[in-house]
Each structure stands twice: as C-alpha cells, then as structure tokens.
Amino acid sequence: MSRYILALDQGTTSSRAILFDRRGNIAAMEQQEFPQHYPQSGWVEHDANDIWRSQLEVAQAVLKKHQVSAADIAAIGITNQRETTVVWDRKTGEPVCPAIVWQDRRTAGLCDRLRAEGREALFAARTGLVLDAYFAGTKLNWILENVAGARERAERGELAFGTVDSWLIYKLSGEHLVDSSNASRSLLFDIHRGEWDDELLAVLDVPRAMLPRVVASSGVAAQAGEQWFGAALPIAGIAGDQQAATFGQACLRQGMVKNTYGTGCFMLMHTGAQAAASKNKLLTTVGWSFAGDDGKPRDTSYMLEGSIFVAGAVVQWLRDGLGIIEKSSDIEALAAQAPDNGGVYFVPAFTGLGTPYWDPYARGSMSGLTRGSTKAHIARAALESIAYQTADVLEAMQKDAAIALAQLRVDGGAARNDLLMQFQADMLGVQVVRPQVTETTALGAAYLAGLATGFWDSQEEIASMWQVEREFDPAMAPDQRQELLDRWRRAVSCSKGWMLAG
Ligand SMILES: Nc1ncnc2c1ncn2[C@@H]1O[C@H](COP(=O)(O)OP(=O)(O)O)[C@@H](O)[C@H]1O
Ligand SMILES: O=P(O)(O)OC[C@H](O)CO
C-alpha cells in the first residue's frame, strides 16, 4: 500500500516538494529558492525553465534523500503561484519569453484603457475579478503584442499558454491542462459556467487555440512520465496555492476564513456553492472542483478573496535590499528591540497595492521618521504593515459577508513570527489560530490528490486531521487599535498614485 502523497508547491520565491503521510503529517521535505528578475520598475519575471528545473530537482531529491520509491507514492498534488503567465512552443517545449509574474505591473495601462472603454462590469460579472495587471489575461495579451512573431504563431496553434500548474503538468506529462481554480485567475474564464469565454477572449485578443483544457482540482488529470520518478505517477490534485491553502486549512464550510503570509498575503473566505459578488473590491474566485464521472469539473466551491501583493517580501527586502537582517526570521528579535513603532509607518507598495486599493501606480513609502528612529522601528513598521494590510482586507470582507469573524486560521512563512501574529490579533480584534502543519498549501494539494485516489475517504476525515498549534488572543484596547489604523491609512495615502505624472 502506498504510504505517501507527493505535493509539489511551486511558490513565488521557491519550489518545494513534500511527502505527506496518511495522518497529513510531513514525512520529508525539500526546498530550493530560484532567481527573481526585476528588469524595470514594476516588472517582475521568472525564467520558466528555472521554475521547472527547481521543482523537478526538489521532487527527485525528496524521494532519493529519504529512500522513497515511486511505489510508495499514491499520487502527485500540484499547487502553484497563481496568475504568473508562461507561453511556450508546443514543438520544442521552450518558453518564448520570460514568465510574467503575478506581481508585475506592466499591463496597468491596458487595464486603464479597458476601464475607459467601460469593460469593468463585464469582467467582474463573468470572472469575479477586477481589471488589474495582477491577472494572467492582460499579461498574455502583452506577450502576444510584444514578443516578435508570437501572435502569428499563436494563431497557427504553435504556442501554448499556461499558468504555472499548466507548465509543470506539461513538462511532467506532455498534457496541456489547467485546473478551474487557476483558470479563474485569468480574466478569460467564466466562473459561473466553468468555461473559457469567447467574448473575453475577443476583448483581450487571445486566440482560443493556445488555451489549456480545464480540469477539476481533484481528479486524475494526467500521468507524470516514468522518466521522472522511476514509474508513472498520477497527477490527481491541482490548485492555485491560495485555494490549496484554504483546503489544507480545512476551511471546508461556508464562512470559514484563512490568511496565508507568504511573499504576498491572501485571505480567502469559503462562500459555498454559489459565487458571491463583492461590493467592497474583493475578488470572487473558484476555490476548487471535483471530477465528475465524465472527468469534467463539478461541485465547485467559491471563495471571496483579498490579495495583498507584498507581505513576507517586505522582510526579504529588509534582508536583501537594506541588509539590516541576515535571515528573515531575524526580524522578530530586531523588531522586539522597540516597544512600539515609534511613529514609523512603512507602506510596502513595491508593486502597487491590491485589495482594497487596487492601485498599480502606488509605490513604497516610509513616514513618521524622526532623528530617534532606529532600524528596530523600521523592522517593526515592516511587520506591522503586513498586519495593517490584512486589517484593511478583513474590514472589506466583513462588510461583504456581513459576519463577525470569530477566528482567523493562519499559515505561510511569515505566520511563524509570533510578534506579528500577536499584533495581527490585536489589529483585527479577532483570535488568530496557527495550525500544527503550516505547510497548508502543499497539504491542500495533497488532500485534493488523495481524495481523488482513495488515499483519504472524505472531506470529514480531512477536517478531523486539522490541529491547533497556537492561539493568539486580541489584547489591545480598541481606541489604540483605531489610532494605529488611522495613521496607517494616512501613510497609505502618501503611497497612492505615486507613479502618475505629478
Ligand atoms: N520569521 C519570519 N518572520 C517574518 N517573515 C518571515 C519569517 N520567515 C519567513 N518569512 C517570510 O515568509 C516568506 C516565505 O514564506 P513562504 O510561505 O515560503 O512564501 P512563498 O510561498 O510566497 O514563496 C518570505 O517572504 C520570508 O521573508
Ligand atoms: O507564492 P505565494 O505563496 O506568495 O502566492 C502567490 C499567489 O498565488 C499570487 O496570487
């Protein structure tokens, strides 16, 4: 009997491969960072071959180092940074240009034009998304317009478009697929009908011939070739990383909410089997779907989402840009040297602002500096910025869903920071709960693959495996919280619109 599910978690800054046992515990893990490219202000690129190479290497290493053979693996689950756009040649398998990363703002102008043409309502109604450079559709349009010969080759059916799940599956199996949660981040997909939308394809001028086939998040979709792991293995779970984390956090019922603190920060609320439209600038998105008898996606769960573009990345910037810490985890001790932020506010709008501001022209700012400000204050202000941005998102979510949230489940690299988690509980006035397994993104992909292959029996079984590691209770007086939030919002106004002509 197979002992493990192999989860491949292809994140913005690193690729991870994790073996999960039947209790949903981590049996082994390998991780590798890969290069980020910032060729111009607001541009962020990856080499799609780096993505593939690092992901394959960690997957092979996790088996080899822990002496696990393909026979021990029941299935593969894949989860990925979403929206990042890859276009490759179907014959050679080579990308035609660098992958345009979700954080990249180069298509802000196209979004402005589409808004000026009055297209916003159409995109919102069909896709649940706002017209922002974040999503894959305008990035794909940019590639077709700017890479020599790309449009003609795409029209002749020679090029394939995919998000990172599609790219990895193509490399592993030769199939050209995307799951419905990743498709829902493209601005090209009707989330209600669960199909690519011809009208949206026409608006963004994307040939249908380059699109992947949409499959369920949970279901055997393809076989990874035997050359990679010594035997063919079913790819049975596929989901965007934030949807996978929601599944891994067992937010399986309507009204449950999780927040993941990785490069960015993403809060998702399960809203049930119907898509709920937002009145407060949140996104409506597909959570996950299950394969029906015909293999097609069904039983779709929908989510409301708030997306913050820079969260843990601000800590990396303190490490790599300013050099005031050596490793990300050092920020906690540095920030703890200051009893409070000393009046310093740091808005890390390095690549614009997401929910609820949706401002691609915002850039980072620091305000409130005095002669007495120290690097400890800056570290504290950086951590606090993650919590303030989350407070802005939760406020929008609570308005939309008209519920008072009792508890927020948290995960991701920066959720290991106790100081941040306590400050987060203080800022939200809501209990923050960290589970024992914080690799919930990979766990969610493993669960989706394991449910499809009988490794686990039911969603109830999965919910019963979720366990608390630590709870953080709000301890700040409401007046103090409000004062901090008011100043944060003044600081945000300094960052907004920065790149626009003066
Ligand atoms: N102790 C910590 N405190 C704050 N941030 C941290 C800490 N440890 C890691 N991080 C941040 O978490 C992020 C990595 O989290 P991860 O969930 O692996 O992200 P991703 O999947 O986006 O690559 C990095 O941006 C890193 O700076
Ligand atoms: O790589 P992460 O974990 O920061 O996630 C990125 C998101 O999927 C972007 O939408």
pLDDT tens digits, one per residue of 478-496: 999 999 999 999 999 999 9
CA distance 222 to 60: 18
Residue range 260-276: mean pLDDT, rounded: 93
Q: Ligand 1: does its nearest atom lie under 6 Å from the Cβ of 14?
A: yes
Answer yes or no: is 93 a known binding residue. Answer: no
Q: Ligand 1: does its nearest atom lie under 6 Å from the Cβ of 13?
A: yes
Q: Ligand 1: does its nearest atom lie under 6 Å from the Cβ of 15?
A: no
pLDDT tens digits, one per residue of 89-131: 999 999 999 999 999 999 999 999 999 999 999 999 999 999 9
Pairing of strands 86-89, 159-162: antiparallel
User: Would you state the pLDDT for residue 330?
Assistant: 96
H helices, E strands: number in the chain: 17, 23
pLDDT tens digits, one per residue of 455-475: 999 999 999 999 999 999 999
| Atom 21 of ligand 1, residue of closest alpha carbon | 11
483 alpha carbon to ligand 2 midpoint, in Å?
A: 31
DSSP 12: S
Residue range 265-293: mean pLDDT, rounded: 93
User: Would you state the pLDDT for residue 418?
Assistant: 97
What end-to-end distance do the CA atoms of the chain give, in Å? 66
- The ligand that comes nearest to the alpha carbon of residue 79 is 2
Q: Ligand 1: does its nearest atom lie under 6 Å from the Cβ of 12?
A: yes
Q: What is the ipTM of this complex?
A: 0.97
User: Would you state the pLDDT for residue 295?
Assistant: 82
Q: What torsion, rounded to 10 degrees, do the Cα atoms 229, 263, 146, 352 define?
A: 170
Q: Are 478 and 247 in contact (CB under 8 A)?
A: no
User: Would you state the pLDDT for residue 1?
Assistant: 74
- The ligand that comes nearest to the alpha carbon of residue 84 is 2
Of the chain, the percentage scoring pLDDT greater than 70 comes to 100
User: Would you state the pLDDT for residue 502?
Assistant: 67
Confidence of residue 402 (pLDDT cuts 50, 70, 90): confident
Average pLDDT of the chain, as a whole number: 95
Q: Ligand 2: does its nearest atom lie under 6 Å from the Cβ of 81?
A: yes
Residue 374: pLDDT over 90: yes
Residue 501: pLDDT over 70: no
Residue spans of alpha helices (H) in 66-105:
none
313 alpha carbon to ligand 1 midpoint, in Å?
A: 7
Q: Ligand 1: does its nearest atom lie under 6 Å from the Cβ of 240?
A: no
DSSP 184: T
CA distance 77 to 442: 8
State which of 328, 410, 421 you would mutate to test the pocket of ligand 1, scoring each by most atoms of that ligand within 8 A of its C-beta.
328
Confidence of residue 401 (pLDDT cuts 50, 70, 90): confident
Q: What angle do CA 265, 281, 393 make, to 5 degrees?
A: 35
Q: Ligand 2: does its nearest atom lie under 6 Å from the Cβ of 264?
A: yes
Residue 241: pLDDT over 90: yes
Q: At what angle do helices 241-248 and 440-452 cross, to 10 degrees?
A: 80
Q: Which tokens hold the place of 426? A: 């203080």
Residue range 354-363: mean pLDDT, rounded: 93
Residue range 212-240: mean pLDDT, rounded: 97
CA distance 29 to 35: 20
Give the list of residues 6+ apart from residue 228 with CB closer than 8 angstroms, or none: 56, 59, 60, 172
Among candidates 155, 257, 162, 146, which has minimal Cα distance to 209? Answer: 155
Residue range 145-169: mean pLDDT, rounded: 97
Q: Are 111 and 195 in contact (CB under 8 A)?
A: no
pLDDT tens digits, one per residue of 14-42: 999 999 999 999 999 999 999 999 999 88
CA distances 449 to 1, 358, 455, Å, are 16, 34, 8
Q: Which tokens hold the place of 501? A: 């002509």
